[in-house]
Structures are given as structure tokens and as C-alpha cells.
Amino acid sequence: MRLKVALVQLCSTEDVQRNCARALDGVEEAVRRGARWVLLPENTCYIRGENDPVSWSEPLDGTIVGSFCRAAQRWGVYILLGSVPEPASDSTKVYNTSVLIGPEGDILAIYRKLHLFDAVLPDGRVLSESRFVKRGTDLALARVDGVTVGLSICYDLRFPELYRALALAGAEILTVPSAFTVPTGQAHWEILLRSRAIENQAFVLAPAQTGQHTSSRSSYGHSMIVDPWGRVIAAAEDEEGIVEATLEMDHLRQIRQRMPCLTHRRFDIVGPKE
């Protein structure tokens, strides 16, 4: 079984309408290239400056998500809307929410980012996503042409237990829409993506933001598709554009059969005795 996928690398800004139009143009171009599934990065339609308040959000039944649902239906493809700020009904904060849309225009899965990026970067900048974003609480899986996929967002990549839980729940493809900072991207992006693929024997699809978004924020880019053996089979540089690949699902299943690591896990290991 084969699945043609395309990752759209964007440089989004605070201009929601501009970003939405560019993302939809990317979807159309990917469809022209034969993609069955088009994946967009974190903060697809809106990206704010570092530590700035979230000035735009919209419910998932609003016009922006609706425009991507209509595009999926029009082209008969799956679309991963990498993430949008979704109002939290019980908070002044928003969720950072990834939305998987099916070829009939219906929402198949909703994932609200579990791990929020609060960190001090090597250049001294202090970032605090949790000031304005509320943590999600649930894993999210769905089916794309019969293949089970597990959803995540950006900083989640540093927490391998999330991906192991998704793999044990049946995920054969892991999605990581991201807006990695330049310093962390240069140091860790490819290493982490390949590690998550190898240890879970899964394809990893990581569409990324790139370039200068605002005066205070830029992203690393380098969108990447990694196979279950840890090989990078397609990758972008730091320009906007599309990377694509055909995923050979039989290859994944052969790897899991020949080296059944997921069944070799030990559950009797505890901390060292005093």
C-alpha cells in the first residue's frame, strides 16, 4: 500500500488572510503534484511575535477551518491543518490545536498540544508559550486511507513517551507540524525526528514554518519526511515550498516484523534499589 504525501513549508505572519491564502495555494499545488495527503505546519494561519499576546483565535467551526474543509472536499484529499489558536471555553487562554480533515470535508481528529514551550534559548531569550496557551489533555489518532496516524505538535517532539503511546495504540505515521526556533532547530530538529521514527518504527511527517515571521520571531524550516528505518527520504531547506514522498507502508510493516522492538519492551524494570 502506498500513500503520496506532501508537506507545505510556510513563512506565516500575523496577517491571517494572507497566511490562509498562501496555505490554500500550497494545498492546491500539492494536489496538482498528486498528493493524497497535504500537511501544513504549526501556526498555519497566524503566528505572533515571541511572548506577544494571542491577538486572533477562532472556533473550529469558524470560517478559517471551514475554508480548509471545503478545500479538502473540493480536491478529495486529506489535509492536516498544522495548528490554529482555538479559544478555550473555560479560560482566557487558547489551545494550540491541530486539525485533521478528511476528503469529504469532515474533521477526523482534533489534537490540542500537550507540551508547551517554556524555555530559555541559547541566545538568552526567555519563551513562555504557557502564558497564553492552555495545555491539551488527550492523545489523538485517526485513519488516513486505512493507515493509523498519531498527531502531535512541535515541542511534543522532545517527549518520546507520547510517541510510544501513539505507536502502541497502532500509529504507523506520526505527524509533527512545527515552528522550531533557529537555535534549537539547528541543534536538535533532524536528530529528534529520526529518533522518533527509529524507536517507534514509524514514518514521521514534519511540516515546518521557516524564515522571519515578525521582528522578534523566526523559524528554522527544514520540513522533513523520515521513514521507519530513520532515513530522511525528503527534506526542505529554509525557503517556502513543498516536499513530497510516497510512503511504502509494506516497508514499514516488514521492518516491524523483522525487528519487533515494540513487542520486546520490558515492564518489570523499576528504579534502582537503595
Q: Where are the alpha helices (DSSP H) in 45-159?
A: 63-75
The set of cell numbers assigned to 154 is 512541535
DSSP state of 240: S
| 2-262: CATH, from 3.90.180.10, 3.40.50.300, 3.40.50.720, 3.60.110.10 | 3.60.110.10
The residue annotated as part of the active site, out of 58, 134, 154, 172, is 154
Pairing of strands 217-220, 224-226: unpaired
Q: In the chain, what are the domain boundaries?
A: 2-262
Catalytic, out of 20, 86, 113, 134 = 113
Contact 95, 115 (CB under 8 A): no
Q: Is 261 a catalytic residue?
A: no
pLDDT for res 119: 84
Radius of gyration of the chain (CA): 18
Neighbours of 150 (CB within 10 A): 26
* Residue given cell 501544513 in the structure block: 40
Written as nine digits, the cell of 188 is 536538535
Span between the terminal Cα atoms of the chain, in Å: 51
Any catalytic annotation for residue 45? no
Burial class (CB within 10 angstroms; exposed 0-12, middle 13-18, buried 19+) of 228: buried
**What pLDDT was estimated at residue 57?**
97
The set of residues, in sequence order, having a beta carbon less than 8 Å from that of 153 and lying 6+ positions away, is 42, 82, 83, 96, 98, 111, 113, 176, 177, 178
CB neighbour list of residue 77: distance below 8 Å, 6 or more residues apart: 27, 31, 35, 36, 37, 38, 103
Please give the chain's pLDDT, 274 residues, in tens: 999 999 999 999 999 999 999 999 999 999 999 999 999 999 999 999 887 889 999 999 999 999 999 999 999 999 999 999 999 988 899 999 999 999 999 999 999 999 999 988 777 777 889 999 999 999 999 999 999 999 999 999 999 999 999 999 999 999 999 999 999 999 999 999 999 999 999 999 999 999 999 998 999 999 999 999 999 999 999 999 999 999 999 999 999 999 999 999 988 888 887 7
pTM for this one?
Answer: 0.96
Question: Is 42 marked active-site?
Answer: yes
User: What is the pLDDT, as a whole number, of residue 22?
Assistant: 98
Q: Which among 11, 42, 86, 172 is annotated as catalytic?
A: 42
Q: Note the pLDDT of residue 130.
A: 92
